Amino acid sequence: MSKTVTSGGSPLTILHPTSFHIAKGRAVAITGPSGSGKSTLLGLIAGLDAPTTGRISLEGVDITRLSEEQLARLRGERIGIVFQFFHLLPSLTAYENILVPMEIAGVRDAGSRARALLDDVGLGNRGHHYPSQLSGGEQQRVAIARALANDPPIVLADEPTGNLDSVTGRQVIDLLVSINRTRGRTLLLVTHDAELAAFADETIALRDGRVVT
Amino acid sequence: MTGFVVRMAWREMRASWVRLLFFFVCVAIGVAAIILLRSVVQQVRTTLTREARSLVGADLVVQTTRGWTADVRERLSEEFGNAVLDTTEVVETQTMAATPEGRGTGVVRMVELRGIESKFPFYGTLELEGGQRYSHDLVKGFGALAQPEFLVEMGLRVGDELLLAGRPFTLRGVVTRDRVQRAGGIAFGPRIYVDLADLRTTSLIGYGSRATHEILARVNDTDIEPLTERLRRAFRRDVVMVRSWRNLEDRLGRNLTIAENYLSLVGFAIVVLGGIGVWSVTRVLVQQKIRSVAILKCVGATASQVLATYVLQVLWLASAGGLLGLVLAVAGAAAIPASMLKSFSITSVGVTFSAALQGIAVGILVSLLFALVPLLEVRRVKPLLLLRADTATTARRRDWRSWLAAVATTAALALVAIWQAGSVRAGLYVSGGLLVMAAALFLVSHLLVRVSRPLARSPKFALRHAILSLGRPGNQTRVILMAVGLGCFFVLGIRAVQANLIHELTVEVGRNSPDFVLIDIQPDQVAGVTEAITPFARETPRVMPLLRARVVGVDGRRVQLANAEAVRQQGRMTREYGLTFRDAIQTNERLLAGQFWTGSLTTAKTADGFDTEVSIEQEVHDEAHVDVGDVMRFDVAGRPLSARVTSIRKVTWDESHNGGFIFVLRPGPAVERVPHAFVGFLEVQPGPDARVGFQRALVKGYPNVSAIDIREVVRSIREVVDNVTLGITVVGVVMLIGGALILMGAVAMTKFQRLYDAAIYRTLGASTRKLAAMVLVEYGVLGALAGILGAAGAGVLSWLLARYLFEIEWRPAPVLLIAGVLLTALVVSVVGLIASADVLVRKPLRTLRGE
């Protein structure tokens, strides 16, 4: 796949043709300097954007052929995403933020599962708080719980510790590692954090839109 | 899926209801207006139509201004046959009422006399003060019943004596509620009831006097309509009118339906104004919710689910607004003063179920329609923006769905307008008008931003940045211009029309107008009356003959009307006219065609065999197509009179001190033979003594002659104009309040942008004063432009109404319009400043930290 955008009237390739395969249950780190195309790659895999050429296959499904509605459904059921800036819904409590993906997918007994996920991330007593009442680390843990809400086989994380101090960053790393190791989920991380990248089974390094390793 | 949409909508609303408060206030005002206006009219209709029979006082009324001749009475009794169960007679006329020498306030005033018999009225009753029961004995033997305001004016109490047509009557009761309507025309004073037998003994019912004679009949329900039709057919050649309570019910029903629909349109316009507010709020709401939408899409929500979430929110908010509107309408109904309702024959207003239902339905519908276009934007939000912030500003170009939605919204709004107006034409006019107005405001706002751009180079910091703010991304310039401009347009427009009308009335009672018009002067009284009133007059009173006649035929080149029925069918000359005869044209008349005669006719007939010649007013020529050379036939108090049209005149009605007459006849033996009275025009000397003295002299010597106080008539008309103006001004003020609310909302909506801007300005050294000056100048400019727009529209509206509806000379009202512009600028600046208070006092670091 590749991605070319129009910038200032002329085409700009932000991801050159590239091809790789990630096996089920693996933890992969995508690293590289700013502007190297990491987030673009993650966005393409999440179905948030479409590649200019090529195709992306998730568990045998060619997602480049899916409509926006189908992609949304796919994300809801098969992919969990964690962002650098958490991106929780500010008008909902921590508990409700975790509920949302399950409600969209029409999961039964979503409430007890949301409570269990809150316990899993160590925030069992903070469920009624709004994002603005939580620290950055707590918000990111809520975001991880939300990413796991529908028990997706794939979890994508974009700089998950990029906005946290080292102590809370460490807690988040532990959580993500446990998702991969104990729950067996495929984990794809975009990170600058060498400590986090070190936990990955393999690393894809990008530079100027090309895979260099 | 539905569960998610409902829960999500609820959660979102729970978090932002304070910010959305403005949304449902906008809806509430419009809904309240519709509910209240509709309820009032519905209630008036129910009351009036239910009581139509008591308003007429009978099942059927036959009336004439000519008095009952033996022939008519005989034919009537034949037609009545077995259908009529009972009859009673009433005579209505005007006269001067005075107190005996040295009693009461000494005021002399014109009153409406109603002479009744013992069976009056067949339906309803007269309600008297202090729980006194009405019986005919109260008026029998020169008794009288009068209205409370008359007693106060004359300084009389029950038991006192008063003089009517020179005869003493005793006041025996005070009528507090009188449902029976008068036969027609304008009331010249308070009503007084007397016994018909007593009235007949006065000089008031002489030949040619201004009395209406009525026969009230009680009829079997099933016979009312056939009998009415039968009588109308039988008396179509006579000056006899037949009306039944059923006709009144129909007419009232029709008029009130029109009124209800018109007022509903006014309500609809207010709702649309609220809709603009809704549109503005939704637009900003969507802008603020873009990230939340992207998050939802990221966690699996489809575009339709997200759209449904926000549509549901709008639905709930609109319903809440509708309910608040209902509460406001109920409160508003309770707050209407009883004195205002009295003239509509109702004592209180309750909100009706159907009005409430309609108001809420229109509120919800309009909110949904106005919110739909901005809401469609959520479909275009890309979840990728959570990874790359620059994605948020993807092309703002509208796609075909947005255009389709805009067209569908406009069409749906037009349908709502048609529904509310109860007429396709009126609905289309109103929605077309709103569309044109909106387009004009849209263009003007663009023009404004462009024209004011050079000011952005001003050395004044506040002005420079205020102008830049008008064109900032996400600005509310258009919304504010539209909302405030419309409110301003209504208020100033109505005020300008009122100013024109009042000016016209003032001219009417100006230097050239008489103070009093004396009517019913009998031929043998002319010299005496002139002599009696001359000492009180500024100039010699002008007295001229007056014939009351109907047109019963025209034999012309362009128009052929064989008989009275044909005249009635043509519909241009159906009323009873006041005719005069004289041998010269007057100073307030201009000859347009033909030749005005010189001198009286000396022969019984003209050379071509007609009774006389007639000069017609331009109106008859233009509207009824009568021309020079045509022959007109008149019925003067039952006698035929034929005349050839020899000239066409234009009367300057403003200067009607010589009387304005549509038809003027050439004097001659035939004309002078037909029954006629005289009418006098008089300007009294200044001061109340002359006015009272003249009236007393008149009452004493000539009790049958009535003096109509022109100033009083003008005052009554002015009161009506004032009342109508007040009503429309209230609507305009509601619109202006709506505009101010939208303004506040619009300011609040741009607060987030402003907070950031203000924080940067402060960091760069701007003081609170400087920031306040920027806000004041920005909103001052905006207010002034909205004011100019409204004032220009108001000028055009007043010109159109003056020219085409009232047919009066249009005068611009520059002081009013300039004051309106300045006041609007002031109000908008102050509202803008108050709504921006938070922006001005907030510490910059809080904003920059994103707290």
Q: What is the pLDDT of residues A190-199, one digit of tens each?
A: 988 888 888 8
The whole-number pLDDT of residue B95 equals: 84
More confident residue, B67 or B6: B6
Residue A25 CB neighbour total at 10 angstroms? 14
Helix (H) or strand (E) holding B431: helix B424-451
Cβ separation B303–A90 shorter than 8 A:
no
> Cβ distance B110 to B708 under 8 Å?
yes
pLDDT digits (tens, 9 = 90+) for B497-517: 767 766 766 655 544 556 788
**Which residues on B lie below 8 Å from A72 (Cβ)?**
297, 300-303
- Residue B802's Cβ-side half-sphere holds a number of Cα atoms within 13 Å equal to 24
For chain A, say whether B303 makes contact (Cβ under 8 Å): yes
Give the pLDDT confidence score for residue B571 in this predicted structure.
78
- Residue B709 and residue A167: Cα distance in Å, rounded? 97
Q: Is pLDDT larger for residue B455 or for residue B611?
A: B611
Task: Tell me which of B6, B298, B849 to substitute to probe the interface with A (most A C-beta atoms closer than 10 Å).
Answer: B298
* Among B3, B298, B383, beta carbon nearest to A103: B3
CB contact under 8 A, B15 and A91: yes
The structural domains of chain A, with segments of one domain joined by +, span: 3-211
Distance from CA of B851 to the nearest CA of A (A): 9
Above pLDDT 90, what percent of chain B? Answer: 14
Contact B302 A100 (CB under 8 A): no
Q: How many CA atoms lie within 13 A of B155 on its CB side?
A: 11
> Closest approach of chain A CAs to the CA of B796, in angstroms?
49
Q: Which helix (H) or strand (E) holds B594?
A: strand B589-594
Q: Please report residues of B whose CB lies closer than 8 A to that of A76.
A: 299-301
Mean pLDDT across A49-55:
92
Q: Vertex A119, ends A114 and A121: CA angle to 5°?
A: 95
Answer whether A75 sits within 8 Å of B12, measured CB to CB.
no
Please give the pLDDT value at position B395: 45
pLDDT at B194: 94
Q: Above pLDDT 70, what percent of chain B? A: 84
Q: A100 — contact with chain B (CB < 8 Å)? A: yes
Task: Please tell me the distance in Å from A15's CA to the nearest CA on chain B.
Answer: 15
DSSP type of residue A184? -
- Chain A: residue whose CA lies nearest to B11: A92
Do the Cβ atoms of A120 and A176 come closer than 8 Å? Answer: no
**pLDDT tens sequence across B46-96:** 776 666 777 777 888 898 887 888 888 999 888 888 888 999 999 988 888
Mean pLDDT of A126-131: 92
Distance of CA A187 to the CA centre of its chain: 8
Chain B positions touching A81 (Cβ under 8 A) are: 298-299
User: Is residue B565's pLDDT more than 50?
Assistant: yes
Q: Which of residues 8-37 of A touch B (CB under 8 A)?
A: none
Chain A residues whose CB is inside 8 A of the B3 CB are 103, 106
State the pLDDT at residue B561. 87
Q: Which of residues 58-97 of A touch B (CB under 8 A)?
A: 68-69, 72-73, 75-77, 81, 83, 85, 87-92, 96
Say if residue B392's pLDDT is above 50: no
Report the distance separating Cα B379 and Cα B371, nearest Å. Answer: 14
The reported pLDDT for the residue numbered A106 is 87
Closest CA to B287 of B377, B368, B405, B387: B377
Check A73 against B302: CB less than 8 A apart: yes
pLDDT band at B196; cut points 50, 70, 90? very high
Q: B809 Cβ partners below 8 Å, 6+ apart?
A: B504, B802
Tell whether B6 lies on the interface with A, counting CB pairs under 8 A.
no
Does residue B17 sit at the A interface (CB-CB below 8 Å)?
no
Arithmetic mean of pLDDT, A54-80: 90
Cβ-Cβ contacts under 8 Å for B128 (sequence gap 6 or more): B134, B145, B173, B174, B175, B176
A43 touches chain B (CB under 8 A): yes
Identify the helix (H) or strand (E) that includes residue B163: strand B161-164
Contact (CB<8Å) A100/B303: no
Query: CA-nearest residue of chain A to B293?
Result: A89
Query: What's the pLDDT at A118?
Result: 94
Across the interface, do A91 and B16 touch by the CB < 8 Å criterion?
yes
Reported as a single tens digit per residue, the pLDDT across B669-687 is 988 888 788 888 888 887 7
- Cβ–Cβ < 8 Å for B780, B825: yes
Chain B residues touching A43 at Cβ < 8 A: 384, 387-388
Query: DSSP readout, B328-363?
Result: HHHHHHHHS-HHHHHTTT-S-----HHHHHHHHHHH
Tell how far CA B585 is from the center of its chain: 37
pLDDT in tens, B167-180: 899 999 998 877 66
ipTM entry: 0.86
pLDDT band at B322, cuts 50/70/90? very high
Nearest to B299 among A39, A90, A146 (CB): A146
Minimum CA–CA partner of A85 in chain B: B386
Count how many pairs of residues, chain A against chain B, have C-beta atoms within 8 Å: 87
Dist CA B3 CA A110 (whole Å): 12
Whether residue A43 and residue B384 make contact (CB cut-off 8 A), yes or no, is yes
pLDDT tens column, A4-38 = 988 777 888 989 999 999 999 999 999 998 888 88
Give the strand pairing for A61-62 and A57-58: antiparallel
**Averaged over B386-409, what is the pLDDT?**
69
CA distance B4 to chain A (A): 5
- Output the furthest CA–CA distance in chain B (Å, rounded): 109
Which chain A residues are closer than 8 Å to B383 by Cβ?
A: 48
Are B407 and B431 contacting, i.e. CB atoms less than 8 angstroms apart? no
DSSP B802: I
Other CB atoms within 10 A of residue A48 CB = 26
DSSP secondary structure letters along B735-762: HHHHHHHHHHHHHHHTHHHHHHHHHHHH
Q: Smallest Cβ distance to B300: which of A85, A87, A104?
A: A104
User: A49–B384: do the CB atoms touch at under 8 Å?
Assistant: yes
User: Taking CB atoms and an 8 Å cutoff, what residues of chain B touch A146?
Assistant: 299
The predicted structure's pLDDT at residue B394: 43
- Tell me the two tokens of residue B715: 């005052």
Region B391-407 average pLDDT: 66
Residue B489, phi then psi, degrees to nearest 5: -60, -45
- Output the pLDDT for position B225: 84
Task: Give the C-alpha separation, A189 to A206, whole Å.
Answer: 13
Q: Rounded to whole angstroms, how far apart are CA atoms B643 and B612?
A: 5
CA distance B299 to A75: 6
Strand pairing class (A3-7; A10-15):
antiparallel
Paired strand residues for A80: A155
pLDDT exceeds cutoff 50 at B574 = yes
Give yes or no for A40 touching B (CB within 8 A): yes
- Separation of CA A209 from chain center: 20
HSE, side-chain direction, 13 A CA sphere, residue B132: 17
| Distance between B401 CA and the closest CA of chain A, angstroms | 16
Kindly state the average pLDDT of the residues B761-765.
Answer: 77
Query: Cα–Cα distance between B703 and B165 in angstroms, integer?
Result: 4
Burial of B752 (0-12, 13-18, 19+ CB in 10 A): middle
What lies within 8 Å, CB to CB, of A155 at 6+ separation is A79, A80, A81, A82, A147, A148, A176, A179, A180, A185, A186, A187, A188
Instruction: Tell me what the mean pLDDT of segment B230-237 comes to.
Output: 83
Q: How far apart are CA B127 and CA B137, in angstroms?
A: 15
Matching CATH number, A3-211, of 3.30.70.1350, 3.40.50.300, 3.30.43.10, 3.30.1360.120:
3.40.50.300
Q: Would you tell me which residues 367-386 of chain B have a C-beta closer than 8 angstroms to some C-beta of chain A? A: 382-384, 386
What is the helix (H) or strand (E) element at residue B319, kind and residue range? helix B303-335
- For chain A, how are helix, strand and coil distributed in percent, rounded to 5? 40, 20, 40
Range B560-567 average pLDDT: 83
What one-character DSSP code corresponds to residue B705? Answer: -
